[in-house]
A and B are shown apart, each in its own frame.
Chain A
């Protein structure tokens, strides 16, 4: 390859939320090479296997090239004009016939801030708050739990700040597989003598490096954390000064902890009391401690409770607002933080303004040039599917999501989507969901459009356009603008470029006030809150006071509640799900990448030797995993890394979410992917 022609452009990795950078090599309109961006502040050039394969999907032969309309069982190619006009007309018809709440919109954590901003703006102008995205399925409980306790539902310290921690408590996160570059900074901390403790039902690669491992039962997190707090409070290891000056609610917590018995905690969680004690003492007495968590904490019916109890733990020990001390919910998608910030959630407007907040809602309405916006909280992802199945939802507009693979209990989702009058899917590939759609719109992917993306550490980075989209594919922002204009809101979508949209975001969302199109293009971007053009950004939150109204951290006692499903005679095993390092979410990108698929080609279930022997199952054998919602066939892996009674399946292949539970957390409406009662037997095939 002649390297001389190549134009190297700094880019943001399109996979997980760490926000790594790389150099994309463009030669005559094609992405031809990838090089490591050593100057990048988060990744220093490092990339996980997915990042290394990031370019493979760009010029992929499966890309959607033209707008398609359903005709019978197949699709027919139509013009953009016809597609946009017909969709706009049908949306308006449905609104006329059934009211605006018969419409729902799914935004996407893979799209830019600008696109998510437009999507929720369009939905709200059309008259509904039923706009949501997959953050509902990953960190909705973090946003709710941290919002209530600390006043800001985001990671408090940057990923690189882990290196300053003396004690790192990882619970329900397998960062070594899901956020591999985060392991760089934890590794550095360990070499400086930090203590790593990991609570996980499985022995994951994250556990390999731990000094202390708490192999808890799925769904027992609150019990474990309450047990730790009881030990801390009773041993007098609380940070009294911090509690006194910066928090409220300790008394209620004390009352709750009096009802907690360590022997019970031991029984519920399966973790020996002395290990809980060791963990509690290490966490409380370290100079600076961080807690890292992911879906293992959030995807439970007690997700919000789990997050709040972690916040309680940090508040009573004062491990917040300093370098190396904080709460780190590691987010899973390149722009899931940003999509939440932009208000692509059914309960909040941009800047986390509650839809029920009259005053601030009116302010946003005024900026958009309308007098009022819908006031009732809209439908969340899982509620949309329920409403579709029951006939209350008539139209669903999906931008870059694949609910038929990624949502829980997908047979129910399929029923819902079959039942719906109008399903529009805007995506880069013919996904499993797109196959059910009435209209499929070809979208541009990350390299074919510009925009800003907010990583897990609130770092807003700019992705410039590298190449042109294939065929007739268009950037999502252009499609939404056009839909907005054709549904009667021409004045509200005057944008000619993503930069124009970001300029409007600067005025609507205070935290993004100073993140202007000019400033954000610097390498590494800016970390919000960045209220004005001279502000350098805020890497560490809560240094002086919390984001709550009174500025105090609200200690919120949370009693233990068992998971929605517990094993019984028919389904005696507990199924938990998670990610693999080589794949990404519903797999529509990584399953199309040879280097990744060849290393992890098919769905499997990890089962302990004891459970396998009991069922006569051998390693590598085809088995059938069944829950009360359905069954799926896959290969058994008999491993020593799961405890007896627990089995694990990755969720990147269709099949897993046939099994998972759609029981919801009452506050955050996040489904309990992490616990389902199941049975495994030899496959009858």
Chain B
């Protein structure tokens, strides 16, 4: 009985120290670790896909006047990385950061602001300026529709439907 216990102690002592001297030395996280999401504000277009995907509803979007505010409440984050998966711009990445203890919840909140574009006709929100500029820049080359034919990017869906006949005329293929 006692001999058994001694054997155990010997095994343990032979193994040496297995824990880190954390916090006196840094803890290195493995690859693929899901730490705090980090937003690259230069890449983000404010489309809101992350907000829709987030199961913990960390990302709140409010559209006011000419501004879209995206509030990342990282205190609620469950580190699932759905935002990273859906982000079309690769603007949000789960970092290796995990030392998040703080006295102030504001330290875990990130706000991003974007210029909004409202419908030229009715004032309904169309999207952020970045989204529309991106589409305007890419579309001619990708679709072959010339720049001056593209007239609808600043209109909401309903107003586009009302203008659909004019748009169709603009886009009309030449009659063979």
- Consider the complex of A and B and state whether they touch directly, i.e. have CB atoms less than 8 Å apart: no
